[in-house]
Amino acid sequence: MLGIGKRKCKMINKRALLTYSFIYFLIGFNYAQGRIIDQVKIRADDPDKERFDRIALDLKTDHWLETPPGVESRLYSIGISAILYKDIPLSKKSNFSIAYGIGLSSDNIHHNGTFVTSTNTPNNQSYTKLVPYNGIKPKINKLTLNYIEIPFELRFRTMNKSLEERRRFNFRFYPGFKAGYMMGNHTKFVTDQTKIKVYRTPNTLPYRYGPTLRIGFNKLSFVAFYSLTGIFEEGKGSQLNTFSIGISWLRF
């Protein structure tokens, strides 16, 4: 029991360290851009370039593109992400800009399978696969993946004559790309009798990357992402590529 307690303590300390590091990074990121208040103001008649959509909050549903036979991801697999962008218009009141930033993303994929890890004796290499679960029907059966991410977007948006017109109608089309580093993962399995939470699923890939898209009007848009990498290292697990679709709320 003492050994388990020590491992849990180390895990909590590591997660706390990552969280504090991310907070300090955000503070430095804002400071490097100049005064925070100036960064979030929209000034219609200011001679400087107008900047938009520097905060993005996404509510999404996460799924796997393909799953092993007998396994499927659930419709209610809800995830969230929050991103802080630096928006760089190409010219004064330009329809085009580029943007980059930093953010956090949490994928919650509910499914009807279970992860099984076995060892190949000849080379002592483990393999983690997703197989159907045939036991008692659980209330919760999910995999959670948490990432710190760096996104990049090429932005097109309509620029009407006045600030009032822009607030009333403003079309946005933002194709992009993002890469992320996994901060942690865990599985959660809950029935009427048991609750099991397992951290660090073996053989998970510590990074991911893929294309993104935002398209919408005013402050609400459709958002999508497809991971070009699987959640497991190549040759060490089932091929599970994540895709996400949802709604994005853009501010400042």
> What's the pLDDT score for residue 104?
96
Residue 49: CB atoms within 10 A of its CB come to: 15
Query: What's the pLDDT at 15?
Result: 53
Dihedral of alpha carbons 129, 109, 113, 189, sign: positive
Taking residues 82-90, report their average pLDDT. 92
> What pLDDT is stored for residue 227 in this prediction?
96
123-137 pLDDT, tens digit per residue, is: 778 889 999 888 888
Q: Are 106 and 186 in contact (CB under 8 A)?
A: no
Mean pLDDT taken over the chain:
81
Query: Looking at the chain, which runs of residues are DSSP E strands?
Result: 55-64, 78-89, 96-110, 113-120, 125-132, 140-157, 171-190, 195-199, 207-217, 220-230, 241-251
Q: Which of 75-79, 168-172, 189-193 has the lowest mean pLDDT?
A: 168-172
Residue 8: band (very low, low, confident or very high) from pLDDT cuts 50, 70, 90 = very low
The pLDDT of residue 5? 43
More confident residue, 153 or 120: 153
- Return the DSSP state at 137: P
Nearest to 77 by CA among 146, 145, 142, 148: 142
Structure tokens at 132: 């159907």
Q: What is the pTM of this model?
A: 0.77
Token pair listed for 65: 């593109």
pLDDT of 33 above 70: no
Write down the CATH number for the domain with range 33-251: 2.40.160
